């Protein structure tokens, strides 16, 4: 396997010459919370008091939304972030999205998705879900989906910069470390390992 460059310091590469554009590639880990927690609360309120969806239906759809996020997380990571384009422009775009993180995995300002990327994706997914579920049931599904996304972002930051003790989180940390330092073609799940086991991209821990 080709040996990749990896820095273990809290540093990173510059992507844009423009300071203005460069600022959009970096984000503090707490920013997604400030953006999406109010949005989640809004959709909870809308589900309960505006659309009058039953509690049981809200629970089912919210859990379904969270589970669907975990699949989205896996598919985006595997087939988009690790896509290998042939053109120079394509390679640069993938590096901007994800390659820089593999080269500088401990850069604290490139561990959660910047709003310049996450907000357009959030709008796109909302529109798609609304087409599928309609105006009423999209709200509980969507706040479940956003909750899953926030769990992913915060978990990803924690796996790189927090001293974890809980057995489940330690397991995720080892799983993610193997993805970075042993084989980037395995271990695409970040907040969970479910879909790696389903699709055969989990690590064999007996080796």
- How crowded is residue 149: how many other Cβ atoms within 10 Å of its Cβ? 25
Chain-centre distance of CA 115, in angstroms?
12
CB 176, CB 159: distance < 8 Å: yes
Cα 61 to Cα 165: distance, rounded to the nearest angstrom? 31
- How crowded is residue 145: how many other Cβ atoms within 10 Å of its Cβ? 26
Buried b (16+ CB within 10 A) or exposed e, 56-92: eebeebbebbbebbbebbbebbbeebbeeeeeeeeee
Q: How confident is the model at residue 2 (pLDDT cuts 50, 70, 90)?
A: very low
Q: How confident is the model at residue 58 (pLDDT cuts 50, 70, 90)?
A: very high
The answer to pTM > 0.85 is yes
Q: What is the pLDDT of residues 5-22, one digit of tens each?
A: 566 667 777 888 888 888
Q: What is the pLDDT of residues 144-192, one digit of tens each?
A: 999 999 999 999 999 998 988 888 889 999 999 999 988 999 999 999 9
Task: Give the pLDDT confidence score for residue 1 in this predicted structure.
Answer: 36
> What share of residues in the chain are helix, strand, coil (percent, to 5)?
65, 0, 35
Residue-wise DSSP of 92-158: HHHIIIIIHHHHSTT-TTSSS--HHHHHHHHHHHHHHHHHHHHHHHHHHHHHHHHHHHHHHHHHHHH
Task: Give the pLDDT confidence score for residue 5 in this predicted structure.
Answer: 59
More confident residue, 37 or 12: 37
Task: Give the pLDDT confidence score for residue 63 in this predicted structure.
Answer: 98
Q: What percent of the chain has pLDDT over 70?
A: 94
CB 28, CB 107: distance < 8 Å: no
């Amino acid at each position: 396997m080709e040996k990749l460059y990896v820095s273990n310091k809290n540093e990173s590469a510059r992507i844009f010459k423009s300071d203005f554009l460069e600022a959009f590639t970096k984000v503090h880990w707490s920013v997604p919370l400030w953006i999406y927690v109010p949005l989640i609360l809004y959709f909870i309120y809308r589900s309960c008091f505006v659309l009058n969806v039953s509690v049981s239906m809200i629970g089912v759809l919210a859990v379904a939304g969270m589970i669907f996020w975990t699949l989205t997380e896996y598919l985006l990571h595997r087939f988009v972030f690790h896509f290998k384009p042939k053109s120079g422009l394509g390679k640069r775009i993938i590096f901007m999205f994800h390659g820089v993180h593999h080269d500088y995995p401990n850069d604290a300002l490139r561990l959660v998705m910047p709003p310049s990327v996450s907000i357009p994706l959030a709008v796109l997914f909302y529109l798609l879900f609304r087409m599928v579920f309609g105006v009423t049931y999209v709200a509980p599904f969507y706040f479940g989906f956003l909750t899953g996304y926030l769990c992913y972002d915060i978990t990803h930051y924690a796996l790189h910069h927090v001293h974890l003790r809980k057995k489940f989180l330690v397991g995720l940390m080892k799983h993610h470390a193997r993805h970075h330092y042993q084989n980037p073609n395995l271990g695409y799940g970040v907040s969970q390992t479910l879909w790696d086991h389903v699709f055969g991209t989990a690590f064999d821990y007996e080796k």
